[in-house]
A and B are shown apart, each in its own frame.
Chain A
Amino acid sequence: MNKIPSALQIGVRRGGLEIIQFARQRESVVFTLLFPVILLGIFGSVFKNTIAPGVTFSQYFVAGMIASGLVNTGFQALAITIPMERDFGTLKRLRGTPMPVSSYFIGKAILIFVSMVIQILLLLGFGLLFFGLEMPTDISKWFTFTWLILLGSTCSTALGIAFSIIPKSGRGASAVVSPIVIILQFFSGVFFVFTQLPSWMQQIAAIFPLKWLTQGMRSVFLPDSFATEEVAKSWESEKTFLILVLWLIIGIFFSVRKFKWDRD
């Protein structure tokens, strides 16, 4: 008798399978990967002003788009597709196999991470070519960028799985999830300069991870002199890290405890 493959082994295989499936859905590939690029094209062409000495709106917007990409690609996509998989019977079938639920989560996390990396590369490439995007030169900024992407995409994955409990059906999921994400994007300073928002919006946004991801991405793409323009007059990297970890724990807790395999 051989051993049953480990949760990690199965999870990695599931990641590969999820990527193949994703890549074969042309509409989702275009929408997920190119949508941020299109948005950058529109916003970058409309707002040509500088928001601080040496900081173009495009530069500011790229930071916001990467952060909100993490939320769109992870949280939003999973909170919509998992209820669909539940409707289709995909989840129930998986539950009937020795596959542990953690493998399913690992597979999703891999998919989200890989598509996030591709999305960021496209966004940065497009920004460099057409909008004079300036890349960070400091190694410590690249380090921050790396942990933000890793932690952000894992956190977003966990929260997406956790939120998938809420929509009753795959068909209704988008109507529940999309408005939340769009409002959060406005409140978190993705489309507007955060400090110009009313303070009640800022305070609501500060509860959720997107504001912190956006601020973290600004610390990567904007000059350090801009830190004084932030609400707290600093990038608050440690606080960002802690809040994302906290949300990650919340996400994992509800994913593991409340995950729904079946419609009823």
Chain B
Amino acid sequence: MSLIEVRGLKKSYGPIHAVRGVDLDIAQGEIFSLLGPNGAGKTTTVEILEGFRTRDSGSVSVLGFDPQKRGLAARRWRNRIGIVLQSSADAGDLTVVETIAHFSGYYSNPRNVDEVIHSVGLEEKQGALIRTLSGGQRRRLDVALGLIGNPELLFLDEPTTGFDPEARRIFWALIQQLRKDGTTILLTTHYLDEAEALADRVAVINRGVIVEVSTPAKLGGRSTAQATVQWRDGATLKSEKSDNPTALVAQLSAQFDGEIPELIVTRPSLEDIYLEMIGGVDE
């Protein structure tokens, strides 16, 4: 059964049709990444799923609940989800541990405060006031606040913006650990390598509709796309696109009698495929 089920979702702001009929199914325990350029309807879709916006038409079920509903049932539903929003600049006068401990008091079964601080790597900063944190540390605090309620479903919106490469790797390991523990994650990101490293499946949204849903490896026919073989022949750098790169490499290997100078075999990156997809739909 799908943890998130969306059918025919539509939302307009005046004359602008932000979402024009989106269908989505996200399964229990998967990391699902929603990709799309700014203004594609990505944020609107996610905010409808998070219960921040109402829809014009279509049906939405998140953990079996309609996020548009209010009242006590909505509180029980919020108790089961975690949301990491894009940015916040608030509560600068509280310490990291005070803030996380306070938020833990909103939930019925929160995670252990120290554990959460440890998992986002903020132990050394736990006594520091939030306004003294760097951008990346602040982002990790945002993530900690999304995790503190021990959610079954976690929304991550651009989680690693402002992270240095090392912090990103540590963060990815944390997300993979969460999946192992059974947390379902909806990730929106601008970093294609992030989607590739983390997501089980990706959906590309453009101009209010889902263009394709697939695994990162297969998106846009990537796995069957032509590979590019590049090598050096004397003074010139040569390259050739091929459906059978292995045969080409074998042939070159025979030609060079062993080692092929500066050999590189590449397939289109997720980014290449993605840019082609959103470029193709755009005018």
| Chain A nearest Cβ from B220, distance in angstroms | 33
When A and B form their complex, what is the total count of cross-chain residue pairs whose Cβ atoms lie within 8 Å? 77
A93 contact set on B, CB distance < 8 A: 83, 85, 88, 90, 145
User: With A2-B108, A95-B52 as given contacts, are A88 and B90 in contact (CB-CB < 8 Å)?
Assistant: yes
| Complex alpha-carbon distance, A92 and B91, angstroms | 13
| Complex alpha-carbon distance, A100 and B78, angstroms | 10
| Chain B nearest Cβ from A47, distance in angstroms | 38
Establish whether residues A10 and B106, one from each chain, have CB atoms under 8 Å apart when the complex forms.
yes
Establish whether residues A100 and B75, one from each chain, have CB atoms under 8 Å apart when the complex forms.
yes
Contact with A along B55-94 (1 / 0, CB 8 A): 0000000000000000000011011010101011111011
| Complex alpha-carbon distance, A88 and B105, angstroms | 22
Establish whether residues B105 and A4, one from each chain, have CB atoms under 8 Å apart when the complex forms.
no
Establish whether residues B90 and A4, one from each chain, have CB atoms under 8 Å apart when the complex forms.
no
A97 contact set on B, CB distance < 8 A: 78, 83, 103, 106-107, 149
B85 contact set on A, CB distance < 8 A: 89, 92-93, 96
| Chain B nearest Cβ from A103, distance in angstroms | 8
User: With A20-B98, A88-B88, A97-B103 as given contacts, are A1 and B108 in contact (CB-CB < 8 Å)?
Assistant: yes
Establish whether residues A20 and B94, one from each chain, have CB atoms under 8 Å apart when the complex forms.
yes
The B interface is mostly helix, strand or loop, or mixed, namely loop
Q: Does B102 contact A (CB under 8 A)?
A: yes
| Chain B nearest Cβ from A101, distance in angstroms | 10
B108 contact set on A, CB distance < 8 A: 1-5
Q: Does A25 contact B (CB under 8 A)?
A: yes
CB within 8 A of B52: which of A5, A9, A92, A99? A92
B106 contact set on A, CB distance < 8 A: 4-5, 10, 97-99
| Complex alpha-carbon distance, A85 and B92, angstroms | 11
Contact with A along B100-134 (1 / 0, CB 8 A): 00110111110000000000000000000100000
Contact residues on B (Cβ < 8 Å of other chain), bracket? 20 to 34
Q: Does B152 contact A (CB under 8 A)?
A: no
CB within 8 A of A90: which of B76, B78, B90, B98? B90
| Chain B nearest Cβ from A114, distance in angstroms | 16
* CB closest residue in chain A, given B103: A97
| Complex alpha-carbon distance, A169 and B1, angstroms | 43
| Complex alpha-carbon distance, A3 and B76, angstroms | 9
Establish whether residues B79 and A90, one from each chain, have CB atoms under 8 Å apart when the complex forms.
no
* CB closest residue in chain B, given A23: B93
Establish whether residues B75 and A25, one from each chain, have CB atoms under 8 Å apart when the complex forms.
no
- Give residues in B with beta carbon < 8 Å to A: 50, 52, 75-76, 78-79, 81, 83, 85, 87-91, 93-94, 98, 102-103, 105-109, 129, 145, 149
A-B contact pairs, 27 of them (CB 8 A): A1-B109, A4-B76, A4-B79, A4-B106, A10-B106, A13-B105, A17-B98, A17-B102, A20-B94, A20-B98, A24-B93, A25-B93, A88-B88, A89-B85, A89-B87, A89-B88, A90-B91, A93-B83, A93-B88, A93-B90, A95-B52, A96-B52, A96-B78, A97-B83, A97-B103, A97-B106, A98-B75
- Give residues in A with beta carbon < 8 Å to B: 1-5, 9-10, 13-14, 17, 20-21, 24-25, 85, 88-90, 92-93, 95-100, 261-262
Query: 4 closest pairs, A vs B, by CB?
Result: A90-B90, A89-B88, A96-B83, A24-B93
